[in-house]
Amino acid sequence: MSERAGRLGGLLESVKGPRDLKALGADELPRLAAEIRDLLVSATARTGGHLGPNLGVVELTIALHRVFDSPRDRILWDTGHQAYVHKMLTGRADRFDTLRQEGGLSGYPSQAESEHDVIENSHASTALSYADGLAKAYRLRGEDDRTVVAVIGDGALTGGMAWEALNNIAAHKDLPLIIVVNDNGRSYSPTIGGLANHLASLRTTQRYEDVLEFVKDNLNKVPVVGAPVYDALHGMKKGIKDVLAPQAMFEDLGLKYIGLVDGHDTQAVEAALRRARGFRRPVIVHVLTKKGFGYSPAENHGEDCFHSPGAFDPLTGEEKPKPHGWTNVFGQEMVRLGAERRDIVAITAAMLGPTGLIPFSEAYPDRLYDVGIAEQHALTSAAGLAMGGLHPVVAVYATFLNRAFDQLLMDVALHRLPVTVVLDRAGVTGDDGASHNGMWDLSILQVIPGLSVAVPRDEPRLRELLSEAVAVDDGPTVVRYPKGPVGPEIEAVGKLGEMDVLRAGDPDVLVVSVGPMAEMCLEAAAMLDAQGISATVVDPRWVKPLDEALVAAARVHKLVVVVEDNGRVGGVGDAVARMLRDADVDVPVRTYGIPQRFLDHAKRAKILADIGLTAQDIAREITEAVAKRSPVLENHPAR
Ligand SMILES: Cc1ncc(C[n+]2csc(CCOP(=O)(O)OP(=O)(O)O)c2C)c(N)n1
Ligand SMILES: CC(=O)[C@@H](O)[C@H](O)COP(=O)(O)O
Ligand SMILES: [Mg+2]
């Protein structure tokens, strides 16, 4: 891989859009692919990003944009993490060194960036449903010349939504809709489940195909013996293919199936796509690719083929460590708890490594369930496990809990089941853009009866609160923590009810600090001192249900401030305000959190500064509020 400072190769520089791409000769495409791979590696080496998935779709993306006419035809990317090549070929190669930087290219499709981009949501398994709707709309509007193409990975295909969509698509034989299954056999780690086994068996069949091709090419040269032997082999192949191939599965659903296609042979992919386009009806094009293809550090990168590395050395592939402290502490604690409690089992939704459960899976392989990208199934399967006498711990990213809200509410909480949900990447995550911030969980969890929520402020509290959560046996519990390194340990100086007092002040301002906001709140309190304002800082540890001791404490303060790394609407601050209102405590409550809007990608610290979630901002706002005795802080962005 040639080291380059993000300079474009000549061919790639000449491609300003699909029209230029179509003008290239087939003999130029290998060089274009090499230039694209060069840029993928050099750019993500600096910024981090989804290198593995994008290296795997270089030839596929070239073929897609040579066969179809985007944006007239719509090309949808499921999850969107593999759309870097699509961006390069639709006029953004010259900006690719701004990937995932504030104000630069998003790591996912972005309608604001290009008319070629459609789905901005990075939550998996949605593309087929979008495609179903788009194709129906074009048909109803008489725009029959348009084709909708959805590219979905084998991992995303394990998501339930994808099968809901397939069921509907199969019912409409006249929809010009092409589903490209990008099958690299991996999600983060190897894709799991019956479907994955099916697809994996095909890859075996593919080798079988290759053998048969070889036989056919060579055996026919032996006129007498050859033919019967080849026919016998062919008969065997057909038998295998019928039994194993999802061709049967998809065709039984009423979908045309074209496969297996070598996803790194641009011309083969182009031919398959042209054939599929000709059907003018739903077609599956099953493409075999390799995650990380063409860059050996990615191809050989253990568990995840460089799915989403941080910055790394492009020459060696050596990654700069990503400090996932919270995740590692959780992983260690799970191994300890697993030894103490044989009823504890763990569930991941295709995120074994990223949620820190690899140590648990190694220690207790028969007590770890990877359900694929299937959060809804994860929660209700956990309900079943709990009904069966176990205590499941379901580890998901906070943003993906949204997917399984009804399952948590109705399948788990309604039955008062002992399930613990651990939410990693809670709060502002930043780089991954709007749909990856964990900013809704503390709001949606407020409405679930009988469910308790803990938010640890540091490592000791994470260990304590996880133990407390798995000890609860009459209802669900949730523990949530952010992405990245754990902050400093902050010891309590006293107790207020069950809450930790982190700083005892005179009764001016009562600051309720939610989890890791503690460090910021203590900093703000120190700044308030300089203004002659005394602040008491408490950490509830459990934010649902809230500690009744808050009521008495609030009564004697002039202002109650709640600071949380969650959306302001419906979060802990609103819960505190409601509790005080219900107790007729007439003290103003002000919440500092994430404003109710979708946040553009940027570094976490920058986003927190932009929304005013910093010690300086909070101290200044409180000072003004106390001074004016009018605590209405309408203009604060974090309000
Ligand atoms: C609902 C949801 N759960 C989990 C994730 C995290 N995630 C992002 S990409 C990925 C793997 C996707 O695998 P696949 O669809 O096969 O694409 P590939 O990376 O192999 O190209 C996962 C689990 C997600 N984006 N959305
Ligand atoms: C696309 C997706 O959902 C994941 O790949 C995500 O980008 C990973 O985030 P982390 O890097 O925080 O694990
Ligand atoms: Mg995959």
Q: Which atom of ligand 1 is nearest to the CA of 123?
A: 26
* DSSP code at position 281: S
Q: In percent, how much of the chain has pLDDT > 90?
A: 83
Residue 581, burial from CB neighbour count under 10 angstroms (0-12, 13-18, 19+) = exposed
Instruction: Quote the pLDDT of residue 639.
Output: 47
Instruction: Quote the pLDDT of residue 245.
Output: 56
Burial letters 350-389, b for 16+ CB under 10 A, else e: bbbbbbbbbbbbeebeebbbbbbbbbbbbbbbbbebbeee
- Give the pLDDT mean for 610-636: 79
Check whether 1 has a pLDDT greater than 50.
no
Q: Which atom of ligand 1 is nearest to the CA of 183?
A: 16
How many residues make up the chain in this entry?
A: 639
Distance 188 CA to ligand 1 centre (A): 7
Least Cα distance to 195 among 284, 112, 278, 119 occurs for: 284
Least Cα distance to 590 among 635, 545, 549 occurs for: 635
Q: Take atom 7 of ligand 2 and give the residue whose Cα is closest.
A: 432
**Could you give the CA distance from residue 368 to residue 394 in angstroms, rounded to a whole number?**
10
Distance 373 CA to ligand 2 centre (A): 13
Instruction: Quote the pLDDT of residue 236.
Output: 55
Residue 233, burial from CB neighbour count under 10 angstroms (0-12, 13-18, 19+) = middle
Q: Tens digit of pLDDT for each residue in 416-444?
A: 999 999 999 999 999 999 999 999 999 99
Of the pLDDT bands very low, low, confident and very high (cuts 50, 70, 90), residue 511 is very high
Q: Which of 219-228, 436-445, 469-478, 563-572 has the lowest mean pLDDT?
A: 219-228
Least Cα distance to 566 among 429, 384, 369 occurs for: 429
Instruction: Quote the pLDDT of residue 225.
Output: 45
Residue type present at position 522: L
Check whether 216 has a pLDDT greater than 70.
no
Global pTM value: 0.92
Q: Which ranges in 390-471 belong to alpha helices (H)? A: 398-401, 405-406, 441-444, 459-471
Instruction: Quote the pLDDT of residue 634.
Output: 39
Q: Is the CB of 81 under 6 A from ligand 2?
A: yes
Among all bound ligands, the one having the nearest atom to the CA of 376 is 1
Question: Given CA atoms 159, 164, 170, 175 in this order, what sign does their dihedral have?
Answer: negative
Please enumerate, as own/partner, the contacts of 139-142 that have beta carbons within 8 Å and a separation of 24 or more. Answer: 139/174, 139/175, 139/176
Of the pLDDT bands very low, low, confident and very high (cuts 50, 70, 90), residue 231 is low
Question: Given CA atoms 617, 620, 623, 626 in this order, what sign does their dihedral have?
Answer: negative
Q: Is the CB of 432 under 6 A from ligand 2?
A: yes
Q: Is the CB of 77 under 6 A from ligand 1?
A: no
Of the pLDDT bands very low, low, confident and very high (cuts 50, 70, 90), residue 57 is very high
Q: 156: annotated binding-site residue?
A: yes
**Could you give the CA distance from residue 11 to residue 62 in angstroms, rounded to a whole number?**
13
- What does each C-alpha distance from 419 to 213, 379, 383, 391, 620 come to in angstroms? 53, 9, 7, 6, 41
Beta bridge pairs of residue 420: 393, 477
Q: Is 22 a catalytic residue?
A: no
Instruction: Quote the pLDDT of residue 77.
Output: 98
- Give the pLDDT mean for 221-226: 48
- What does each C-alpha distance from 92 to 19, 89, 150, 209, 393 come to in angstroms? 14, 7, 21, 39, 42
Check whether 631 has a pLDDT greater than 50.
no
Distance 276 CA to ligand 1 centre (A): 26
Check whether 388 has a pLDDT greater than 60.
yes
Per DSSP, the residues of 158-172 read: GSHHHHHHHHHHTT-
Check whether 409 has a pLDDT greater than 80.
yes
Q: Which among 51, 57, 79 is the best mutation to test ligand 1's pocket, defined by most ligand atoms within 8 Å of the CB?
A: 79
Check whether 619 has a pLDDT greater than 70.
yes
Q: Is 606 a catalytic residue?
A: no
* DSSP code at position 309: -
Check whether 217 has a pLDDT greater than 90.
no
Q: Is the CB of 79 under 6 A from ligand 2?
A: yes
Q: 123: annotated binding-site residue?
A: yes
Check whether 566 has a pLDDT greater than 50.
yes
Instruction: Quote the pLDDT of residue 384.
Output: 98
* DSSP code at position 438: B
Q: Is the CB of 122 under 6 A from ligand 2?
A: yes
Q: Is the CB of 146 under 6 A from ligand 1?
A: no
Question: Given CA atoms 69, 70, 74, 76 in this order, what sign does their dihedral have?
Answer: positive
**Could you give the CA distance from residue 427 to residue 65 in angstroms, rounded to a whole number?**
37
Q: 122: annotated binding-site residue?
A: yes
Instruction: Quote the pLDDT of residue 212.
Output: 52
Whether 50 and 307 have beta carbons less than 8 Å apart is answered as: yes
Instruction: Quote the pLDDT of residue 192.
Output: 81
Question: Given CA atoms 18, 24, 30, 35 in this order, what sign does their dihedral have?
Answer: negative
Instruction: Quote the pLDDT of residue 190.
Output: 80
Residues, Cβ < 5 Å to ion ligand 3: 153-155, 184, 186
Of the pLDDT bands very low, low, confident and very high (cuts 50, 70, 90), residue 222 is very low
Whether 352 and 358 have beta carbons less than 8 Å apart is answered as: yes
Instruction: Quote the pLDDT of residue 209.
Output: 56
Q: In percent, how much of the chain has pLDDT > 70?
A: 90
Q: Is the CB of 403 under 6 A from ligand 1?
A: yes
Q: Which of 114-128, 198-212, 507-521, 527-541 has the lowest mean pLDDT?
A: 198-212
- What does each C-alpha distance from 390 to 232, 241, 470 come to in angstroms? 52, 40, 11
Check 35, 59, 375, 621 and give the catalytic one: 375
Q: Tens digit of pLDDT for each residue in 128-142?
A: 999 999 999 999 999
Q: Is the CB of 125 under 6 A from ligand 2?
A: no
Instruction: Quote the pLDDT of residue 2.
Output: 43
Q: Tens digit of pLDDT for each residue in 302-329?
A: 879 999 999 999 999 999 877 779 999 9
Check whether 262 has a pLDDT greater than 50.
yes
Distance 145 CA to ligand 1 centre (A): 31
Residues 6+ apart with CB under 8 A from 468: 454, 477
Stronger pLDDT, 483 or 203, i.e. the higher one: 483
**Could you give the CA distance from residue 417 to residue 581 in angstroms, rounded to a whole number?**
31
Q: Is the CB of 153 under 6 A from ligand 1?
A: yes
Distance 95 CA to ligand 2 centre (A): 22
Stronger pLDDT, 114 or 240, i.e. the higher one: 114
Check 66, 291, 483, 503 and give the catalytic one: 291
Distance 451 CA to ligand 2 centre (A): 27
Q: Is the CB of 291 under 6 A from ligand 1?
A: yes
Of the pLDDT bands very low, low, confident and very high (cuts 50, 70, 90), residue 628 is confident
Q: How many CB atoms lie within 10 A of CB 326?
A: 26
Q: Is 173 a catalytic residue?
A: no
Preceding amide of 297 cis, omega within 30: no
Distance 32 CA to ligand 1 centre (A): 27
> Residue 80 — left, alpha, or beta (φ > 0 → left; ψ -120 to 50 → alpha)?
left
Instruction: Quote the pLDDT of residue 625.
Output: 87
Q: What is the mean pLDDT of the chain?
A: 92
Q: Which atom of ligand 2 is nearest to the CA of 432?
A: 7
Q: Tens digit of pLDDT for each residue in 287-296?
A: 999 999 999 9
Least Cα distance to 589 among 551, 619, 549 occurs for: 551
Instruction: Quote the pLDDT of residue 321.
Output: 77
- Give the pLDDT mean for 271-290: 96
Question: Given CA atoms 519, 523, 526, 532 in this order, what sign does their dihedral have?
Answer: negative
Residue 263, burial from CB neighbour count under 10 angstroms (0-12, 13-18, 19+) = buried
Q: Take atom 3 of ligand 2 and give the residue whose Cα is closest.
A: 122
Instruction: Quote the pLDDT of residue 244.
Output: 44
Least Cα distance to 348 among 188, 161, 198, 127 occurs for: 188
**Could you give the CA distance from residue 613 to residue 187 in angstroms, rounded to a whole number?**
35
Whether 426 and 565 have beta carbons less than 8 Å apart is answered as: yes
Check whether 233 has a pLDDT greater than 80.
no
Instruction: Quote the pLDDT of residue 226.
Output: 46
Among all bound ligands, the one having the nearest atom to the CA of 399 is 1
Q: Tens digit of pLDDT for each residue in 9-55?
A: 899 999 999 999 999 999 999 999 999 999 999 999 998 999 999 99
Whether 333 and 463 have beta carbons less than 8 Å apart is answered as: yes
Strand locations in 276-348 (E):
283-288, 344-348
Stronger pLDDT, 227 or 162, i.e. the higher one: 162
Q: Which atom of ligand 1 is nearest to the CA of 403?
A: 1
Instruction: Quote the pLDDT of residue 636.
Output: 52
Instruction: Quote the pLDDT of residue 203.
Output: 64
Instruction: Quote the pLDDT of residue 88.
Output: 98
Structure tokens, 608 = 């927190």
Strand locations in 240-316 (E):
256-262, 283-288
Distance 474 CA to ligand 3 centre (A): 38
Strand locations in 320-428 (E):
344-348, 368-370, 391-397, 420-424
Q: Is the CB of 354 under 6 A from ligand 2?
A: yes
